Structure 1
């Protein structure tokens, strides 16, 4: 299943969210790469994990550039329903409800387990 992307945050994001699948919150691309080093570190793992034909549905949500995201508690993705505290964050959804979450350093050692818990 291909990875879809969006930079929507509010009602537009809600329309795009899969009821069963994954949301992947990343920093935005600046000068040809994700500005967040942690996001760059997991990018290949995430692409490999979600790019096969039988992979689960996933939507990459770009949180914005560094100035938009860092130190901005009023950023819309930091509040309900997503409460994203850092990037990268991967949220597993089942029937539209959160079933699991990996944040920053948790992604590399735990993504396979999160995906296996289908």
Structure 2
């Protein structure tokens, strides 16, 4: 299943990820990218990561959110920079495990195939 854009508000999304991980005993993933400008992310690292992430999650259930425009992303009160997401750099992949713990793979590590494979598998 390809990435699907998350539609829940951030607080509900956080709760949903934890609940789904606990009930399925499978990690839940959230991919955080910079928003699109003319169909392309404004973030070069997000652009580099996209083919790796799309291929890796082609057969997995994962959600996608766009963290905003450049000015929205740089705002310290951006919802994705807050608890429990605490995204500091883009792209970020968040993994919520069945015990409720949150793990992150950040920036260039997302498009490092070896690190991406270890994180997702």
The TM-score, its normalising length taken from structure 2, stands at: 0.80
3-state secondary structure, aligned to 1:82: coil
The answer (yes or no) to whether the contact 2:30–2:94 under 8 Å persists in 1 is yes
Residue number in structure 2 paired with 1:102: 105
Residue number in structure 1 paired with 2:87: 84
Deviation at 1:24?
A: 0.5
Higher helix share: 2
3-state secondary structure, aligned to 1:85: coil
The answer (yes or no) to whether the contact 1:91–1:100 under 8 Å persists in 2 is yes
Residue number in structure 1 paired with 2:5: 5
- Correspondences of 1:48-63 after superposition (within 5 Å): 48-52=55-59, 55=60, 57-63=61-67
Question: Residue deviations 1:43-68, cap 9 Å, x none?
Answer: 0010000012xx2x211111011111
The TM-score, its normalising length taken from structure 1, stands at: 0.82
Q: Which runs of 5 or more structure 2 residues have no equivalent in the other structure? A: 22-26
Bigger mean CA offset, 59-68 vs 96-105: 96-105
Residue number in structure 1 paired with 2:32: 25
Residue number in structure 2 paired with 1:67: 71
Judging changes above 3 Å, is the alpha-carbon distance between structure 1 residues 37 and 59 closer, same or farther for their aligned structure 2 residues? same
Q: Which runs of 5 or more structure 1 residues have no equivalent in the other structure? A: none
